[in-house]
Amino acid sequence: MQITLNNNSEILEGNSITVNHLLQLKKFTFKMLIIKINGTLVQKGSYETTAIHDGDEVSVLHLISGG
Amino acid sequence: MTFEEIKKILQHKIVGIAGAGGLGSNCAVALARVGTGTLIIADFDVVSESNLNRQYFFYDQIGKPKADALKENIQRINPSVKVITHNICLTRDNIPVLFRDCDVIVEAFDLADQKEMLIETVLTEFPEKPLVIGLGIAGWGNNDGIHCRKVDNMFICGDEISEITPDLPPIAPRVGIVANMQANIVLDLLLK
């Protein structure tokens, strides 16, 4: 399947992948993340149960301190 | 658009500013100078001497609540701006109440976990409301690394890399650039 991750096209195996699996695969190891799929926020508790499908647009924002 | 026309549009607009530190104080002052109608400013902290290397406060304001001190400074610059202050810690419960009527919300917190809390709350409660966040402001130099990008209704300003550490403090020039970038995006949104 093909998804868009932070505006880049990515080809992944299978028909779907959980948010957690994608984070592991792409080595997003930071704790403070904002994840959106097709414009909708994925709530913190549901990374394991939320699936990403072919054609989805995923954005992962890594938050850092300073302000 | 002339400046008179700009002011006419802005006088009816409401902007929420979450945090009155380096980003929030400088962003609020820029928005006040151009004549934004109402600013809703929330911060739980008081001004300390270490803030003066980047935040829009004065030495004689040390010890004052930041939101109140910022209101004083804004009123000296542009008394026509209505400033509503909340000397409280923003939470998932009070953000939807305090910022309900805002046309745009500015995220101007210091700590990553607070940024995360505010962004999650705004995206959940007000998914259509524009949110302008500051991300990656520490250190000095590298103007070219500072950018702005849009993710749906969220606008991200900063270099997205430079996190504050004891050897990479937040200081006036870079913090001021990002705060004014945030104000510039707010202005663009309000004038559309």
Contacts of B77-80 with CB under 8 Å at 24 or more apart are B77/B29, B77/B32, B77/B33, B78/B32, B78/B33, B78/B35, B80/B11, B80/B35
Contact A66 B123 (CB under 8 A): no
pLDDT band at B6 (very low <50, low <70, confident <90, very high): very high
Structure tokens at A37: 């799929």
Q: What is the C-alpha radius of gyration for chain B, rounded to an integer number of angstroms?
A: 15
Chain B residues close to A63, C-beta within 8 Å? 112-113, 115-116, 119, 135
How confident is the model at residue B163, as a pLDDT? 95
How confident is the model at residue A30, as a pLDDT? 82
Q: Name which of B144, B129, B192, B140 is nearest B162 in CA terms.
A: B140
Domain assignment present for residue A18? The answer is yes
- Mean of the per-residue pLDDT values of chain B: 98
pLDDT greater than 90 at residue A23: yes
How confident is the model at residue B13, as a pLDDT? 98
| Chosen from B45, B55, B111, B180 to mutate, greatest number of chain A CBs within 10 A | B111
pLDDT greater than 90 at residue A62: yes
- Amino acid (1-letter code) at residue B183: A
Kindly state the average pLDDT of the residues B135-143: 97
Question: pTM score, two decimals?
Answer: 0.96
Domain assignment present for residue A45? The answer is yes
- Mean of the per-residue pLDDT values of chain A: 95
Q: Quick check: B37 and B53 in contact, CB under 8 A? A: no
Q: For chain B, what percentages of helix, strand and coil (3-state, to nearest 5) are there?
A: 40, 20, 40
Nearest CB partner across the interface for B120, out of A34, A39, A64: A34
pLDDT greater than 90 at residue A58: yes
How confident is the model at residue A31, as a pLDDT? 84
How confident is the model at residue B174, as a pLDDT? 98
A25-29, B8-12, B135-139: least confident range: A25-29
CB proximity list for B124: less than 8 A, separation 6 or greater: A41, A43
Residue A11: give the domain boundaries.
Answer: 2-62
Q: Rounded to an integer, what distance in angstroms lies between the CA atom of residue B51 and that of residue B59? A: 10
How confident is the model at residue A27, as a pLDDT? 92
For tokens 């104000």, the residue is B183
Q: Which tens digits make up the pLDDT trace of B21-49?
A: 999 999 999 999 999 999 999 999 999 99
Q: Which residues of B91-107 are buried (b: 16+ CB within 10 A; e: fewer)?
A: eeeebeebbeebbbbbb
Nearest CB partner across the interface for B119, out of A34, A43, A67: A34
CATH of the domain at A13: 3.10.20.30
CB atoms within 10 A of CB B1: 9
- Give chain A's domain count: 1
Kindly state the average pLDDT of the residues B58-72: 98
How confident is the model at residue B66, as a pLDDT? 98
Nearest CB partner across the interface for B135, out of A40, A44, A63: A63
Chain B residues close to A44, C-beta within 8 Å? 120
How confident is the model at residue B180, as a pLDDT? 98
Kindly state the average pLDDT of the residues A50-55: 97
pLDDT greater than 90 at residue B10: yes
| Chosen from A5, A30, A46, A64 to mutate, greatest number of chain B CBs within 10 A | A64
Q: Which listed CATH number (1.10.220.10, 3.40.50.720, 3.40.50.300, 3.40.50.1000) goes with B3-190?
A: 3.40.50.720
How confident is the model at residue B158, as a pLDDT? 98
Domains of chain B by residue range: 3-190
Q: Rounded to an integer, what distance in angstroms lies between the CA atom of residue A8 and that of residue B173? A: 32
Domain assignment present for residue A67? The answer is no
Q: What is the C-alpha radius of gyration for chain A, rounded to an integer number of angstroms?
A: 12
Q: Which tens digits make up the pLDDT trace of B67-121?
A: 999 999 999 999 999 999 999 999 999 999 999 999 999 999 999 999 999 999 9
How confident is the model at residue B48, as a pLDDT? 98
Q: Which tens digits make up the pLDDT trace of B162-188?
A: 999 999 999 999 999 999 999 999 999
pLDDT greater than 90 at residue A29: no
